[in-house]
Structure 1
Amino acid sequence: MLKVLAAGPLGLMLSMGLAQAADAPHALPAPVVDAPAVHTPGEQTAVFSGGCFWGVQGVFEHVKGVTRAVSGYAGGHVVNPDYEQVSSGDTGHAESVRVTFDPAQVSYGTLLRIFFSVALDPTQKDRQGPDWGTQYRSELFVDGPEQKRIATAYVAQLDAAHTFGRPIATRIDPAGPFYPAEAYHQDYLDLHPDAAYIVINDLPKVQALRTLFPEWWQPAPVKVGKLASGD
């Protein structure tokens, strides 16, 4: 995992070049297929993988209707993996964020729209920005047939419109075990806003959310804080 940039101005310039080479974020069309608003009490969860989980978590913590966003590991074959194991690329896990949301306030389709608009470049395969490896793949771990239907339809909608100029590489797979990452990874963007990696790669995503989706922006992040048992 390239979380520590090369020392000196050269490393900074290389990372900035990678970030600037990506397409500028823009608001994508709303999904044609989406879940109806749910007016009965109850929360839902969805798992998103899109490169380093710091930025993905940072984005979703600012989305109105999201009540929790936890960084972790999904899609692998090792039980309770740690950061070093996942970073080796040998466990099959992807750095992921489990998002808990109130479907009466925000739909799964809207979360997908925000994710594809500002959180990643979905045409990149097994990488994202300066980070390379299968653990940085783009993947949607869907919770049941309804999420699968909405996610599949939205990816097809964006591909049919040639939204990105290249095919979307995002995988769609059933949700399996999700393992929260270590405590020091949680709320990382909020706790370390001046870190070079965050400034270059992740703060622009949060700013894009605020600019492109003001109706979904909540200024105070919904922070994880101290992880509880079962998180």
Structure 2
Amino acid sequence: MGTVANPPTIPEGAERATVAAGCFWGVEHLYRKHFADKGLYDARVGYIGGDTANPSYRAVCSGNTGHAEATLLIYDPTRLSYTQLLEFFYRMHDPTTLNQQGPDRGTQYRSGIFYHSPEQEKIARDVTRRANEQWWGGRIVTEILPAKQWWDAEDYHQLYLTKNPHGYECPSHFLRSFPDLK
């Protein structure tokens, strides 16, 4: 089971968002659970931000490929905004720990937003600034980078927590009850 170089077909009018927030199983699961009936078409787990073609899970976990475990969100922008997706991102993980989420350590577990357009970059920087000021006390270490090559993770990683309801879920993945961003 290898990876594929391109994301799945995107429905007409849909947009992509790509985030990294530690172990991708929990990130994908939380986004699906929260946005399934609010405009999220699909959530895929995979690898981004590295310099190795067709990386495997084992290679990414070695820390030698430069990739982050990430989640590709395909959504309907008429029902769900990029801002909403990023505010959720900052509520559902700890963006203040460099290369770590809970007990998971390594560059593959870094916090990152990988933007697909100049407009997404602008929104990512604005939401990050506001979340840093209002929620995280100036400690956010999240990378904001252009989305480059996406690689789907192996099939057994897709929908992992749906298929394995008692599988590992990073303890830092939960919704924090912050007030709305201003």
Equivalent position of 1:123 in the other structure:
96
Q: How many residues align structurally?
A: 164
Equivalent position of 1:4 in the other structure:
none
Deviation of the 1:159 alpha carbon: 2.0
Unaligned runs of 5+ in 1: 1-40, 213-231
CA deviations on 1:37-81 (whole Å, 9 max, x unpaired) are xxxx60000110000000000011121211000000000000110
- Distance across 2 between alignment mates of 1:175 and 1:166: 25
Equivalent position of 1:147 in the other structure:
120
Q: Are 1:43 and 2:17 counterparts? A: no
Query: What is the root-mean-square deviation in Å for CA atoms of aligned residues?
Result: 1.8
- Distance across 1 between alignment mates of 2:20 and 2:152: 13
Bigger share in strand:
2
Query: Is residue 55–residue 201 contact of structure 1 (8 Å, CA) maintained in 2?
Result: no
CA deviations on 1:119-174 (whole Å, 9 max, x unpaired) are x101011111110000100000000100000000111112233x223510101000
- Distance across 1 between alignment mates of 2:78 and 2:14: 9
AA in 2 matched with 1:177: Q
Unaligned runs of 5+ in 2: 1-11
Deviation of the 1:105 alpha carbon: 0.4
Compare relative contact order (CA 8 Å, sep 6+) and give the higher one, 1 or 2: 2
Equivalent position of 1:95 in the other structure:
69
AA in 2 matched with 1:201: P
1:61 to 17, 32, 47: 32
Alignment of 1:99-178 (within 5 A): 99-118=73-92, 120-161=93-134, 163-178=135-150
- When normalised by structure 1's length, the TM-score is 0.67
- Distance across 1 between alignment mates of 2:171 and 2:131: 24
- Distance across 2 between alignment mates of 1:183 and 1:105: 28
AA in 1 matched with 2:139: P
Equivalent position of 1:184 in the other structure:
156
- Distance across 1 between alignment mates of 2:118 and 2:148: 14
AA in 2 matched with 1:128: Q
Paired-residue identity, %: 41
